[in-house]
Chain A
Amino acid sequence: MVSSKKRLGNYRKRSERTAFLFMLPSLSVLFIFVFIPLVSSFILGVFDVNIFLTNFNFVGLKHFQNIFADERVWNAFKNTFIFTFAEAGLQVSFGFLVACLISGNTFFQRAARSIYFIPVVCSMTSVGLIGMMILDPNIGSIPYLIASLGFDKPMMLKDPKTALFIIVLITVWKNFGQTMIILAAGLAGIGRNYYEAAQIDGASKLQQTRFITVPLIWPSLSFCFVTNLIGSFQVFDIAFVATKGGPLFSTETVVQLIYARGFSGDMNLGYASALAVVLLVVIVVFTMTLYGLLNRQERKMFG
């Protein structure tokens, strides 16, 4: 009895050691190249300091007070939230729909899978450049096409009312293939026998999706949504390339504002770091709440 308990304890200790051995390379790199830089950034947030790290001046919480008084900050957060929820919601639901439709193995479905993935391969810089030209009201073919159908010619990225939404659409256009591939991999892992059994029981296609597909690929679905949300909160490239935050700050996001304040213009690295800390807190609170909810669901399903 005693010896079996001891053996169990040994086994536990050994398995803990194996686990840490497995994680050692990743954990040390994350510690050195993410964690330490992050803490250094926090420290920079209470100083007045420029990008060249000269003139350190301790200013306490001054930057944080300025941030909450700055209307441009509130505007940037508003844009970021709109972008994030519109983008993540659209991309996951559209990606899921398409993944369901292309999960078969006909020639056309295989071809479609590859074609939809092409934009994912391209860089946001090139996509932004291409989008800018195609959507340009003066030389672009899409506004011209819409105008020749009898509508008012849309100003697209040049109109403060629509610019943010167009940015969302460009991002979904570029990225939905990624969500599609992850979900398609999950779908392929579902045994065909589940569907056969459901068909015998007379379940409709919609019921099969609702009661077999969704629960079984839940881990992949929640993975896609959470990572999309996190990625969208940090949106930078596309708005930077295609609109530079304009027109009238209608597409200026938080990371762009951080970049504008810290790495160009007045190069106030302290202010930028403080704003970065605020953004990080917002992202963590939102994602963790969501992750908790999704994870509880996952545990319910997988025990």
Chain B
Amino acid sequence: MQNLELSVNMIFVTAKDWILALLGHFLPAWIVVLASILISGVAILCLGPVIMMYLTLLERKVIGRIQNRYGPNRVGIWGLLQPIADGIKMFTKEDIVPANADKLIHLLAPIMTVVPALMIFVVVPFGKQMTAVDLNIGFLYFIAVSSITILPIFMASWSSRNKYSLLGGMRTAAQLISYEVPMTLAAVPAIMMSQSLSTNAIVLTQAGSLGLNWFIFTPWGIVGFIIFFLCATAECNRPPFDLPEAESELVAGFHTEYSGMKFALFYMAEYMNAFTLCGIAATLFLGGWQGPILPSWIWFFGKTLALVCIMIWFRGTFPRFRVDHLMAFAWKFLLPLTLVNILLTALWHFVSPLAAWPVSVLVLAVVLYTLVKLNRVFVPEKRSYVFAD
């Protein structure tokens, strides 16, 4: 029984080890090392696009249900082949480049968006011993790589020579830089408590006896998770933070001038970012692959998909932010809250848990109340026109 559980738990790791052992019989050691890199690389390179394809289907299905429609259900059963049909459509479409566009950068931008999106997969711990590269600065790597995504978006907007694209790019730069700050700071408590930047070590600290000692079960964990998740939604330009590609104002924002597969690459990057950001959020606060009974990778994918579904739920619910509200929310509300949260985590570390809960809740309540009061938007009193009545 123990053996079976272990084997299901480690099914992918065992498969990889088995292939490597097989290769080791008749190939020199350095080729086996290369093969090891190749296997992980190919797995990630296949996983990314497949996840993207089926997230689009999931999104269209869930949004459809929210709006009392079926969503795609014609290609294959339950529309399961719809993403493939979409892919074929994208591949066969004409690639139009504006006459005055900066051709090289216009070509490079969609390629460059996908690369960091795929690179983040490297440090995501998919399961027990299933981190492709267990960097000891895994989280730092994630922050660094995910912040590159601003650059190709700005490249795309600048090179297409279109005012809508440029406006979208400007908004992206402003939004992503703003939300990067509270996102990083919201993750600091998790790093403080696990005393490591390695994503794998962060997951291991949340083990507990049943694998249920997740950070979200603490006051600073809840606050940190909510802030991190909101910022992650903003980071991958998903509604209600989709100002960079606001259809009603900017046609399609930074990818207005892209068609065919180049457009599809932007889409792919967006969905892969959504998935990895949800994965990192699950890693930092929801215990990653920790959990009782079920195999570790099922826990990880379950948590991540649940978060993705919440993102889709957001999209089905909320209207878009106004630009100034968006900025004010990041700088005037989330940022101070994350700073308080970091202090609270330190307090939690030194005070016994019994006393820490009421103290934390009290501090958070006071801070929230103050921030809400301070952030109140000035609404002038209704004017009355004496002579008009």
Decide whether A and B are members of one complex: no
B-to-A contact residues, CB < 8 Å: none
